[in-house]
Amino acid sequence: QVHNLFGYYMTRSAAEAFERYQPEKRILLFSRASYIGMHRYGGIWQGDNMAWWSHLRMNVKMMSSLNMCGFLYTGADVGGFGADTTEDLLLRWLEFAVFTPLLRNHSARGTRKQEVYRFSHIPKFSSVIGARYQLLPYIYSEYMKAALRNTMMFNPLSFIYGKDNLARQVEDQLLVGENIMIAPVCEQNVTGRVVYFPERMKQLIFKDGIIEEGNIFEKGFSYVNMPMGTVNVFLREGYLLPVAKGGKCVEDINFEDLKVYSFGEKIKQYEYYSDDGETTDFDMESHIRILK
């Protein structure tokens, strides 16, 4: 009867101890054991998943479900924890996981070794991981704004387009923050997928450190080509997407020297959040500046 509460209080006690002994530092905790309310003290990873395509699809759905419960810092074991992953599953999973706050490739003892350098298409893995560092300013900004404003970072289409009957039935696409939509490929042996566009959007393709501006899609269903090793983002008309030059680690990223992508005639201003990531003054208004 107290199984889940044990994990909750374990994380809470650690968080309160860090706050007491290191009050000037921001501490990151995440645990597999959890309970409702633990988001105040730490994040979670999504347990012992399996190297199955169905669990990749489940990971997509769980991001918004956990956000509804207050858990923003979360993610699943990329490629699956149990069973033997495959190169294409790991690559497709990574293409989605670059958007999740917790990005971790982790597997069980006795399963296939699944570090990305063990596979044959290392440049494709490198390209996808590189997109993470290009997108990190936007991901971090949207994460922090959601944490400070008690909103969600990952929204199902039904939350944004509630009057659209078709959007309410789509569960494998997400809005990441307010400005972009993603439609992960969760099926084996395909080079793309059918995407539902609830409004006019423009495709941006991240590959090998280059960002290619793709097609503009009108409202409705369209087949979108998404080759393995690319990260695909769909930018809403009238919105901005700030992107960095990237790097090999967070310290390499210049969070101020950004390139801004947009399309449409009337562009909405973007509230860009950036801080030092270490101190606890994260609620200062000076951390937000307007991008146009």
pLDDT, residue 3, reads 84
DSSP string, 74-108: EE-EET-SBS---HHHHHHHHHHHTTSSS-EE---
Q: Which two tokens stand for residue 113?
A: 């070794």
pLDDT, residue 244, reads 98
Residue 171 neighbours by CB under 8 Å, 6+ apart: 60, 61, 156
Identify the CATH assignment for 146-291 out of 3.40.718.10, 2.60.40.4040, 3.90.550.10, 2.40.128.20.
2.60.40.4040
Dihedral, CA of residue 136, residue 134, residue 289 and residue 280, to nearest 10: 30
High-pLDDT (> 90) share of the chain, %: 95
pLDDT, residue 34, reads 84
pLDDT at 117 over 90: yes
pLDDT, residue 260, reads 98
pLDDT, residue 279, reads 93
Closest by Cα among 182, 213, 212, 186 to 196: 182
pLDDT at 32 over 90: no
Tell me: the pLDDT tens digits for 203-239?
Answer: 999 999 999 999 999 999 999 999 999 999 999 999 9
Instruction: Kindly state the average pLDDT of the residues 176-189.
Output: 98
Instruction: Kindly state the average pLDDT of the residues 24-29.
Output: 93
Give 208-273 as a 3 state SS string.
CCEEEEEEEECCEEEEEECCCCCEEEEEECCCCEEECCCCCCHHHCCCCCCEEECCCCCCCCEEEE
All structural domains of the chain with their residue ranges:
3-122, 146-291
pLDDT, residue 41, reads 94
Neighbours of 29 (CB within 10 A): 16
CA distance 195 to 185: 10
Closest by Cα among 162, 161, 228, 146 to 201: 161
Which helix (H) or strand (E) covers residue 65, if one does?
A: helix 53-68
- The pTM for the full model equals 0.96
Q: Are 90 and 122 in contact (CB under 8 A)?
A: no
pLDDT, residue 89, reads 98
Identify the CATH assignment for 3-122 out of 3.20.20.80, 3.40.50.300, 3.40.50.920, 1.10.8.60.
3.20.20.80
Q: Under DSSP, is residue 136 helix (H, G, I), strand (E, B) or coil?
A: helix
Q: How many angstroms from the chain centroid is the CA of residue 159?
A: 17
Half-sphere exposure of 88 (CA within 13 A, CB side): 10
CA distance 258 to 249: 16
pLDDT at 7 over 90: no
Average pLDDT value for the chain: 96
Strands 174-176 and 154-156: antiparallel
CA distance 231 to 191: 13
CA distance 256 to 157: 30
pLDDT at 134 over 90: yes
Tell me: the pLDDT tens digits for 72-83?
Answer: 999 999 999 999
Query: Which is more confident, 24 or 34?
Result: 24
CA distance 217 to 223: 10
